């Protein structure tokens, strides 16, 4: 269920991303609003796409290619834009099981992050998911225990006074997140 939830969240995030359909090499971009909007038309409801692995694979490949293309062709100066694009690529890498690539993207986000709490929290859920995958299959006790242990261990290493608000916000968000809420968002 957790993998499915992460996949849904990754899709919801990628569908909302602004991408450039074409680019002039090296053109400086100061803000995401300087990029043309890229859309991904579909004949079916986005929520229905979640039930079709072939459509999801095609969409994910297109978003990945477009995102990498923008990073290669433009000189992006805005840290928020770069973090957003690296976040998309980390979600795709995590979904595809390319754990090292996901870790690399989280490191790039951390390097750009000016808030210590966000820097510490970056990749927390994803790295816990990687640990869970290495221990078992979704729904297995070993999987759930590994996820919980990895998450708890990493949280214990963080200064509470720095990450308290972020952790409480993440907890509140997880408590509200349901399959129907996510499908409605998409």
Tokens of 62: 């297109």
pLDDT 10s digits, 24-62:
457 888 888 888 788 888 888 888 888 899 999 999 999
Give the position of tokens 């214990």. Answer: 156
Please give the Cα distance from 95 to 70 (Å, whole number): 21
Do 15 and 9 contact (CB within 8 A), yes or no? no
pLDDT value of position 25: 55
pLDDT 10s digits, 104-159:
999 999 999 999 999 999 999 999 999 999 999 988 999 999 999 999 999 999 99
């Amino acid at each position: 269920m957790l993998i499915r939830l992460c996949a849904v969240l990754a899709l919801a995030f990628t569908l909302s991303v602004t991408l450039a359909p074409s680019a002039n090499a090296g053109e400086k971009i100061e803000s995401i609003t300087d990029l043309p909007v890229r859309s991904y038309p579909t004949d079916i409801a986005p929520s229905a796409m979640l039930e079709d692995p072939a459509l999801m694979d095609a969409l994910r490949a297109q978003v990945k290619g477009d995102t990498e293309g923008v990073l290669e062709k433009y000189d992006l100066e805005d840290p928020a834009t770069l973090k957003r694009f690296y976040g998309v690529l980390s979600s795709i890498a995590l979904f595809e099981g390319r754990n090292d690539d996901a870790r690399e993207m989280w490191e790039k986000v951390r390097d750009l992050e000016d808030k210590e709490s966000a820097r510490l929290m970056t990749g927390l859920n994803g790295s816990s998911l990687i640990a869970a995958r290495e221990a078992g299959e979704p729904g297995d006790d070993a999987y759930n225990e590994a996820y919980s242990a990895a998450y708890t261990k990493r949280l214990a290493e963080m200064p509470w006074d720095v990450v308290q608000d972020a952790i409480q916000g993440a907890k509140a968000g997880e408590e509200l997140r349901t399959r129907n809420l996510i499908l409605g968002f998409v």
